């Protein structure tokens, strides 16, 4: 394989910049539907990706065979620029404490079936119509050679456990999904996550909302968002619009642009708002130590104490900002070009407890989980429909609420944050971007966060 990469680099030595990548993604997935095995799939995708730059155009070719790589010349004005960064050699490997094969596949199936059996026997007032599980274990390996002979090597194992369920009570149904369980590592993650306990808690809580939830009062109020909501907010309304390629417009017809194109101030949020994208977090889903362009990974403070600090940059966006790449380029697989991606994006926690966070709220709403979110392509207008939600009364959590809707602008929400607590939690996700599209593993997270005087709507 190393010889193949060397040959590729040699063949395209006329280009100003060349990278040749061997990339392998191997995964096994088990699907369980209502306690029964639905299917097992075992997939391996591997091959070569070649990227080269000349005269403003990035050329990319991929194939399972290095002999089929080919760059076809385009005789037009190019949009891209390239920076003069140092390329780093290096190797990183995430170790599994318990290798995947320490647990035979039949035991894994039994583990998942038992999850369902225990869930089915839960005493709840609503009816569990469906409960589906997808367990997946994967290994990502890559070797990237550059035209200055730098070499990057990586090995990352990951596990994820995804579930959906439908609860019905009288004429109301809710469909619930989860992205709680996804990280890098081995089977030890299943022990650490304790999915049985967490799924049971979730079902009981959603059942309580469905059977006892009160209608929401529309109007302005104090709102506390849990880490699940602050996580999606960090990812969607800060991480994405802080991708330099989106601000520049490279994604304008695809995943859209960014409100930062028209935002001329440095201050975007309150002093309580600090948002970080950190690929180096141990055990994280979005972990990498050197990016796919040979730039060393480091935490990036996108917003620091409410002020815009830096964008996510790669080798090709950085020169347009007269800066250097901060190591944000990643490709999902051999047949995708590296582009600017988030890794693990989160609001920095504070010092206070959750109890302190809600203690001075006379009337408010706590949204613990959501069933819908969406956001416009500039990442400005966002909407969340609460699933597990509670009223806050005189500094304490009260009755469950039926599906409050939070809809507003990023640039209104961030200044309204006046405090965050110390409960930093992460959620796993797959972030989509690019065309041909790419889904890369990420974490998103944050503490619980208090926003003052925000409008809550009814569905």
Partner 1 sequence: MNEELLSLLEKMKGFDEVALFKVKAEATTIKFVFGKVSTAQNLDDEVTYALVKKDKKYLVSTLVGKNETEINQEILKSIDEPQLAPVISDNDREYKFEKIDQQLEKLRIDPNSAISTILDTSEYPISGILNIRKNTISLVTSKGFNGIDIRNSIDGYFRAFNGEYSGQWSFADSKYNENELKDTIKTANEYASITNKIDIDEGKYDLVLSPLVFGNLMNYLASMSSGLRILMGNSIFAKFKIGDKVASEKFTFSDVPNEDRPSSVSFDQEATFTRNKSIVENGIYKTPLLNNELALLFNSKSTGNAGWIYPQSWTLEVNEGKTSKDSLTAGNVILFNNNWYTRFQNYVEGNFSTVGRDAIVVYKNGQPMGIAGRLRIADSMINIIKNIEELSRQRYLVKWWDSPIPVLSPYVLVKDIKVSRA
**Which 257-296 positions form the footprint of partner 1 (CB under 8 A)?**
none
- Tell me the window of 267-275, 343-351, 365-373, 394-402 that interacts with partner 1 (CB under 8 A): 365-373
Phi, then psi, of 261 in degrees rounded to 5: -60, -35
Regarding 234 and contact with partner 1 (CB under 8 A), the answer is: no
Q: Does 455 bind partner 1 (CB under 8 A)?
A: no
Residue 249 Cβ, how far from partner 1 at the closest point, in Å? 6
Q: Is 196 in the site for partner 1 (CB under 8 A)?
A: no
- Which residue number, 86 or 253, has a Cβ lying nearer to partner 1? 253
Contacts to partner 1 from residues 78-107, by CB under 8 A: 78-80, 104-106
> By CB under 8 A, is residue 430 in contact with partner 1?
no
Among residues 244, 275, 274, the alpha carbon closest in space to that of 260 is found at 244
* Alpha-carbon gap, residue 106 to 304, rounded angstroms: 48
Q: Closer to partner 1 at the Cβ: 194 or 372?
A: 372
In the complex, minimum distance from the CB of residue 212 to partner 1, in angstroms, rounded to a whole number: 19
Q: Using the rule CB under 8 A, which residue among 175, 359, 394, 453 binds partner 1?
A: 175
CB 362 to partner 1: min, Å = 28
Q: Stretches 12-20, 53-61, 152-160, 421-429: which one binds partner 1 (CB under 8 A)? A: 53-61
Taking the CA atoms of 10, 77, 260 and 240 in sequence, report the sign of the dihedral they define: negative
Stretch that binds partner 1, among 188-196, 298-306, 372-380, 442-450 (CB under 8 A): 372-380
Binding of residue 124 to partner 1 (CB under 8 A)? no
**Identified binder of partner 1 from the candidate list 6, 89, 132, 136, rule CB under 8 A:** 132
- List, as one string, the DSSP characters of 334-394: TTS--EE---EEEEPP-SB-HHHHHHT-SEEEEE--EEEEEE-TTS-EEEEEESSEEEEET
Total interface residues for partner 1 by CB under 8 A? 78
Taking the complex as a whole, the smallest distance from the CB of residue 11 to partner 1 amounts, in Å, to 14
> Whole-number minimum distance, CB 421 to partner 1, in Å?
27
x/- letters, 393..412, toward partner 1 (CB under 8 A): ----------x---x-x---
Residue 86 DSSP code: P
299 touches partner 1 (CB under 8 A): no
Contact call for residues 367 and 384 (beta carbons, < 8 A): yes
Token pair 């620091």 is found at 304
269 closest CA partner among 65, 397, 450: 450
Q: Which residues contact 440 (CB under 8 A, 6 or more apart)?
A: 286, 330, 332, 341, 430, 431, 433
- In 3D, which of 414, 348, 408, 339 has the Cα closest to residue 374? 408
Q: Are 49 and 337 in contact (CB under 8 A)?
A: yes
Instruction: Give the C-alpha separation, 459 to 154, whole Å.
Output: 46
Q: Which of residues 305-344 bind partner 1 (CB under 8 A)?
A: 335, 337
- How far apart (Å, rounded) are the C-alpha atoms in residues 192 and 348? 23
Q: Exactly one of 45, 155, 263, 321 binds partner 1 (CB under 8 A); which one?
A: 45
């Amino acid at each position: 394989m190393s010889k193949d990469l060397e040959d590729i680099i040699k063949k395209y030595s006329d280009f100003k910049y060349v990278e040749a990548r061997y990339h392998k993604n191997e995964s096994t997935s088990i699907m369980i539907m209502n306690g029964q095995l639905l299917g097992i799939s075992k997939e391996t995708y591997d091959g070569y990706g070649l990227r080269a730059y000349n005269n403003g155009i990035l050329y990319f070719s991929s194939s399972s065979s290095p002999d089929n790589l080919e760059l076809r010349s385009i005789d037009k004005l190019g949009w891209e620029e390239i920076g003069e960064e140092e390329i780093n050699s290096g190797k990183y490997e995430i170790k599994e404490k318990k290798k995947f094969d320490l647990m035979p596949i039949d035991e894994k199936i039994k583990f998942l079936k038992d999850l369902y059996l225990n869930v089915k026997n839960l005493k709840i007032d609503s009816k569990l119509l469906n409960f589906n599980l997808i367990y997946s274990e994967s290994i990502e390996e890559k070797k990237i050679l550059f035209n200055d002979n730098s070499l990057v090597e990586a090995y990352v194992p990951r596990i994820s456990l995804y579930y959906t369920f439908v609860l019905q009570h009288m004429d109301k149904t809710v469909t619930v999904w989860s992205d709680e369980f996804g990280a890098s590592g081995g089977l030890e993650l299943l022990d650490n996550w304790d999915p049985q306990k967490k799924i049971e808690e979730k079902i009981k809580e959603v059942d309580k909302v469905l059977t006892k939830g009160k209608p929401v009062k529309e109007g302005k109020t104090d709102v506390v968002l849990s880490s699940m909501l602050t996580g999606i907010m960090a990812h969607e309304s800060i991480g994405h619009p802080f991708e330099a390629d989106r601000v520049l417009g490279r994604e304008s017809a695809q995943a859209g642009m960014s409100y930062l194109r028209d935002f001329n101030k440095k201050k975007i949020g309150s002093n309580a708002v600090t948002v970080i994208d950190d690929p180096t977090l141990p055990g994280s889903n979005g972990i990498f130590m050197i990016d796919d362009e040979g730039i060393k990974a480091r935490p990036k403070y996108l917003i620091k104490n409410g002020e815009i600090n830096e964008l996510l940059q790669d080798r090709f966006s950085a020169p347009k900002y007269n800066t250097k790449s901060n190591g944000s380029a990643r490709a999902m697989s051999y047949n995708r070009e590296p582009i600017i991606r988030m890794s693990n994006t989160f609001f920095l926690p504070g010092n206070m407890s959750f109890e302190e966070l809600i203690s001075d709220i006379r009337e408010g709403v706590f949204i613990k989980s959501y069933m819908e979110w969406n956001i416009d392509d500039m990442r400005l207008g966002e909407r969340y429909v609460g699933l597990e939600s509670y009223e806050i009364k005189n500094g304490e959590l009260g009755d469950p609420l039926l599906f409050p809707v939070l809809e507003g602008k990023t640039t209104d929400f961030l200044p309204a944050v006046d405090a965050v607590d110390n409960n930093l939690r992460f959620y796993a996700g797959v972030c989509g971007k690019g065309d041909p599209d790419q889904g890369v593993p990420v974490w998103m997270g944050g503490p619980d966060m208090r926003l003052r005087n925000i409008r809550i709507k009814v569905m």
